[in-house]
Amino acid sequence: MQDDDPIRILAQETLSDDYCQLRKVRFSQRRRDGSEQEQTREVYANNGGSAVLLYNRDKRTVLLTRQFRIGARLAGHDGFIIEAPAGNLDDTDPEAQARVELCEETGFRGHGLRKVIAFFPNPSSLTETVHCYLGEYRERDRQGSGGGKAEEGEDIEVLEMDVMEAFRQVKEGGIVDAKTVILLQFLREVIWPSGPDHAAD
């Protein structure tokens, strides 16, 4: 880091290294008034993730999944979350991993994938960056039944949803997963700004 960097990492301690590494980090921050302030935070560290939303122009549908998420259950939701297919990177290329997750979770391969955004879902406590892609699919792109890997505890329901229904569910709170909301918003603005009957190129 440069000498004028207002942040200095003073110490890091690994508290847990199970599903993700949990670190306790002590750092010093030079505030805007010139004073120094030490803080301690716990941060989950991983290699980030990749998510992809496939759409079918002719059928006016999107491919989504539904699976159980324990964090959502503990927050008061029933835990069964509608999502775009996604997975951890594990030092892999984001687009390549997106294609792998597509086949594993939905049974489809996509084409014309394009990256639309990379974002931090919670920069205060996660190092994770989520790389998001849009792509297209046709029935001929089906490679299998999907459903995820049972040996990894996955039990994934594949949803082929009318795109206007997906937009409605975002608006009414049926779709609450952040990456999926973001991808559907990009789909609406970039592909279907005037609705599915007026698809843009």
Q: pLDDT by residue (tens digit) across 44-76? A: 998 899 999 999 999 999 999 999 999 999 999
Q: In Å, what is the CA distance from 21 to each residue of 42, 80, 104? A: 10, 25, 25
pLDDT of residue 64: 97
Residue in 132, 128, 62, 127 with CA at minimum distance from that of residue 95: 132
Query: Which residues are CB-neighbours of 150 under 8 A, at least 6 positions away?
Result: none
Q: Is the pLDDT of residue 1 over 90?
A: no
Looking at the DSSP bridge assignments, the partners of residue 105 are none
Write down the domain spans for the chain. Answer: 7-45, 49-198
pLDDT of residue 146: 75
pLDDT of residue 200: 46
Give the CA angle between residues 118, 124, 126 to the nearest 5°.
Answer: 60
Q: Please give the span between the terminal C-alpha atoms of the chain, in angstroms, as a whole number.
A: 43
Report, in this order, helix, strand and coil percent for the chain, each rounded to 5: 25, 40, 35
- Tell me which of 137-151, 152-166, 187-201 is least confident: 187-201
pLDDT of residue 76: 94
User: Looking at domain 49-198, which CATH architecture does it have?
Assistant: Alpha-Beta Complex (3.90)
Contact 159, 23 (CB under 8 A): no
* pTM for this predicted structure: 0.88
Q: Is the pLDDT of residue 193 over 70?
A: no
pLDDT of residue 190: 80
Question: What value does the mean pLDDT take over residues 94-123?
Answer: 91
Reduced to 3 states (helix: H, G, I; strand: E, B; else coil), residue 17 is strand
Helix ranges, the chain (H): 70-74, 94-106, 163-172, 178-186
Question: What mean pLDDT, rounded, does the chain reach?
Answer: 89
Q: Is the pLDDT of residue 2 over 80?
A: no
Percent of the chain at pLDDT exceeding 70: 90
Neighbour-count burial of 182, counting CB atoms closer than 10 A to its CB (0-12 exposed, 13-18 middle, 19+ buried):
buried
